Amino acid sequence: MSEPEVRAPARQRGQRIMAEGRAEKAWRKRPSTILWMLSLGQLISWGLVYYTFPLFVVPMTQELGWSRSGMFGALSAGLMVAGLCSIPVGAWIDRGHGRKLMTGGSLAAAALMLLWAHIDSLPLFYAMWIGLGACQAVLLYEPAFAVITRVYGPRYKQAILLMTFLGGLASTFGIPFTQFLVERVGWRASLEVLAAINVAVALMHWLFVPGPQEKPVPIGEAKPPVDGAAKKSPLAAAIRVPAFWGLVVAFAGYGLAFSAMSFHLIPLLDDRGVPIGVVMAIIALIGPMQVVGRVLLMVGQRHITTIQLGAGIYFAFPIAMAMLAMGISDVYGLILFAIIYGVANGLITILRGMAVPEFIGPEGYGVVSGALTMPTNIMRAAGPVIASLAWAAFGGYTPVLWGLAAIMLIAAMGFAAAAMLSKRPA
């Protein structure tokens, strides 16, 4: 062994379990196979279930006569439901039910997209998106992170890095592919194709996601209960850790600012007279910059702690917001904004996956991560509405942007508090 037993008992135990598993299990149950298949599932689920919504807005409004605000209200309702479902989803995954949840989520997403393809009622559209929000709660990063930590144990960081790297290409894959379908066969037939692809994803989840009979690899040593004290559930123990509430502030603040920027960046730049070609180029640059950030972290991960990663992210976000608030509209300034914002946005997904075991503890990763995801998704659902109300109240986007920069500063203070209050080394 390269390390003494006393320095890494959990790591060595995890490696021993995985080595035994490789010898005894079929290839589809090996950790590396599970990781690649889950990462492919993230690429498809993010690309086709999450990112494609805006592509259907214009053709649907033209055919059905619905307002854009009415359609985006359905999206917000779905995001709200995704947040509310996150805690029970995490708890179920901690009990080993990731296979059933993710398979069922993909099948339900397929059925709902098939319903979407034949929809002509706005109330039914809202009901359908509430269902898709529940599907997102069991398909996207947080449940996938919870599954993969059960497989990789103390090596979860490298696994999350690979998963988010592939997932970062979701918009690059999903948006052009879906736009191609919409232009060739129309929006209704396109949704039928997407539904069929989600059935294939469901099969992949059923074949490769471990079931409850698979023994999880421990992330680290759990703290023994105090003599005479009843053992608390992982979530009950986590909410008593001050660092948990620091992370709530950090991630919820990000969720609000991110969603506000996602839905208002295009009208903001349009208000400033930026040519539409430049606007589309800036939007297109943000996605690849997320991947660049993740690649840089993969290269330098051994030299960067979780605290250093978070400090860089929460330093970058307020700067990006302040740049827009100061009125930049030239091409080079906007490119610099896209680089800073895109890299930070790509890295915060990884930070969310790493912070729970490092700042709070290794027990109950799924349910604790779900508890952090719930306020994040609720703020993500509220962000576009809050930004719209602020824009109407102040008569422009500049005060809104300064407000978002202030929110990200508060989020940064939340992360700093979590880092300082955590008793676990980063």
- CATH H-level, domain 11-208: superfamily: MFS general substrate transporter like domains (1.20.1250.20)
Q: Which pLDDT value is given to residue 226? A: 52
Q: Which residues lie below 8 Å from residue 229, measured CB to CB, with a gap of 6+? A: none
Encode pLDDT of 165-182 as tens digits.
888 788 778 888 888 999
Between helix 141-152 and helix 122-139 the angle, nearest 10°, is 20
What's the rounded Cα separation, in Å, for the pair 64 and 242?
Answer: 50
Residue 97: how many other CB atoms lie within 10 Å? 19
Confidence label for 224 from pLDDT (cuts 50, 70 and 90) = low
- As a 3-state breakdown, the chain gives helix, strand, coil percent values, each rounded to 5, of 80, 0, 20
Q: Where are the domains of the chain?
A: 11-208, 234-421
pLDDT at 221: 59
Q: What is the pLDDT of residues 325-354, one digit of tens each?
A: 998 888 999 999 999 999 998 899 888 888
Dihedral sign computed on CA atoms, order 417, 421, 422, 426: positive
How far is it, in rounded angstroms, from Cα 268 to Cα 55? 19
Band (pLDDT 50/70/90 cuts) for residue 205 is: very high
Quote the CATH superfamily of domain 234-421: MFS general substrate transporter like domains (1.20.1250.20)
Which residue, chain included where needed, has tokens 């503890």?
361
Contacts of 368 (CB under 8 A, 6+ apart): 90, 234, 235, 238, 244, 356, 360, 361
**CA dist., res. 316 & res. 100, Å (int):** 39
Express each pLDDT in 55-73 by its tens digit: 888 899 899 998 877 888 8
* Whether the Cβ atoms of residue 148 and residue 38 lie closer than 8 Å to each other: yes
User: Going by C-beta distance under 8 Å and a sequence separation of 6 or more, which residues neighbour residue 236?
Assistant: none
